[in-house]
Amino acid sequence: MARTSHRTAARAVEAQRRIREAGERVTTPRSAVLAALLAADHALTHHEVEEALAPVTPVDRVTVYRVLDRLVATGLAHRIPGEDRTWRFGANRRGPGGAHAHFTCSGCGRTVCLEETEVPAAVKVPRGFVPQRIELTVQGLCAACR
């Protein structure tokens, strides 16, 4: 138990450091939401963020939405579109910059960041086409669903 709370405190400190380094003001909801993203082993939906915070630092739904948008805008987190039309959010553990691939489990819908796999910066498209966004998603089964 003591170990868990110690780890939680360490994550809060880490979240606050990242927020400060991004030139943002540290607020309780910002640090709680980012700490939840850093703690998660998969990308979280708005709802999952709310649920993760509830026992420790309850943050209302509207604030969760606003904070997640802000974290994305400042490069502290990124959003991943889901096949179920639900956005999922992950902390930018390696800082802002190069986009990475994601793994989505067709069994449970869990989405995991594949930070080792970069998304190509450019792809060849037909003449006259303008790429707007490149995403790389690997579909498969997670260890639990396999």
Q: Which residues bind to Zn ion, rule: CB under 5 A? A: 90, 105, 107-108, 113, 142, 145
Nearest approach, Cβ of 42 to Zn ion (angstroms)?
9
Distance CA(21)–CA(18), nearest Å, equals 5
Q: Which is nearer to Zn ion, 85 or 124 (CB)?
A: 85
Please name the residues in contact with 112: beta carbons below 8 A apart, sequence gap of 6 or more: 41, 42, 43, 102, 103, 104, 105, 142
Q: Which is nearer to Zn ion, 11 or 88 (CB)?
A: 88
Nearest approach, Cβ of 22 to Zn ion (angstroms)?
17
Nearest approach, Cβ of 58 to Zn ion (angstroms)?
26
Distance CA(54)–CA(64), nearest Å, equals 11
Query: Running DSSP on this structure, what letter comes out for residue 85?
Result: S
Nearest approach, Cβ of 68 to Zn ion (angstroms)?
14
Q: Which is nearer to Zn ion, 27 or 46 (CB)?
A: 46
Q: Which is nearer to Zn ion, 24 or 142 (CB)?
A: 142
Distance CA(31)–CA(83), nearest Å, equals 29
